[in-house]
Structure 1
């Protein structure tokens, strides 16, 4: 009889409810059917942690980008809106304190320079430039050889008007520049009459006459100043620094007239 090996023995034990059997009827090893208490606890904790962490990760990844932006400061925008509203609501309203000073509005006065005035000013400027280059006879030369040997008041007035536009120069007694008494002396020298370069000296040489009896060519005298009378309350003189010989009204009532040469 041939020995074919030890006979396999089938377990005759009835498996318990805790030991499930294989399809062959053999019992399932305990390692595959029951876990130790510590193992079950560890598995439970793993499942709990997974249940908490994984959703958190997905929730974080799913947050929109704006969730990470800080809250915007709208103070400036709000102020702009409020200012615009104020402009629109009070656009025609101005609040003025009761104590504010009241100022009366006035219209500025002005005048336009005419073409004639411009031309006259240009002529005066040209004359002043020409007189500044004067190199003619002096008072001494005129007295030695007067161009008008026959004295005539009307002629004196006419000669005097030839020097309109000569600039005022303190101490001047030629057409390069006159002061008041230098002008009167230069005009009279052309008639052979020597006068001092002095307002008071010229007045002392003349004979005072009544205003109504005055003739063009007489000498107008006031405090510190003189000129040549032209009639009708007008005279010609060398006024002051910055001005020129000109015809103008006698500007004061405190004057008198003297006559020299007759």
Structure 2
């Protein structure tokens, strides 16, 4: 049986193409709901970062220490009143200028050089005073070997092996390089200066292949007797004695005297 109109309420009849009319009350409720949702979203976005810190029973997702410090706000530090009265003093330190350091070093070097010269002079004087034999000048006045020959010169020079080196020495009490050569050649009546350069200029240069024992080996600031086979007989340096040893440099030349 079909229901009557009174049982189902009034029937709404619409015309084709006519807009459907909605309930104003339902529309108003919808607007209020939308406004409430929008307000909630805006409020949530405006919350500070530390406002939302969920946590569970195990403490996961709890607020960090940095969050707690941020929530705590500004901190206050108590400063002792005496801190404002502390005085600051400058260290009593002064740097020595480099010029003064250089001057002091130069003075020390000069003092050391003077001490070395004084020691050498004292040593030479001691050796000279201890020697009572003839000097080079005495031999020049009365030569014990009037007949000159290179083998004889070398034989005489060999007799002084072991004589200590003394700076400025020219007697068997102590020789330096040129003093040794001067003393030996004086015994053959040949006068030489007490200088390696002067002795090199006093003779004639010869080829190394022609060198014989007794010829002079001339170096820069040093000399001695050629000893054959690339060796030299000489007074080497302070602390050493007259000896034969290999020539240690190629920077030398040979000079022969008496020709």
Give the TM-score normalised by structure 1: 0.49
Which has the greater radius of gyration? 1
